[in-house]
Amino acid sequence: MPKIDAIPDKFAAGYIDRLDGRTAIAQDMRARWAAMTDDLGGEGSLSYSQRSLIERALWLEHWLHVQERALADGDYQAFDAGKWTQACNSLQGILKTLGIERRAKDVTSLQDYIKGRAAS
């Protein structure tokens, strides 16, 4: 599948993986993905549903940013207050579902690591 160089206007699952990694937007989205998954205890500890919600949250966050930039630039035709409000509410709901508190990553203690190495 060919790489894309922009976030799609409509959500499409897997869009982050399809972004061309050489582009600034791909690097930014992957950094945001890492930040959000790290805050939730690490990507390896997340369920499929959580990863799916994170992808949607990042798309909504980007869409809101585009809308806010249009408003700040005076492009009042491009800004849709109703859709912006719905997107904000949707993002808030997703973030509440995921939890906005940071969670510690489950890490093997040094003593357990040493015991495991000694046993093998």
Q: Cα(63)–Cα(1) distance, rounded to whole angstroms?
A: 24
Tokens linked to 87: 């997107």
Q: Cα(114)–Cα(108) distance, rounded to whole angstroms?
A: 10
pLDDT in single tens digits along all 120 residues of the chain: 788 889 999 999 999 999 999 999 999 999 999 999 999 999 999 999 999 999 999 999 999 999 999 999 999 998 899 999 999 999 999 999 999 887 766 667 778 778 877 877
Supply the pLDDT for residue 102: 73
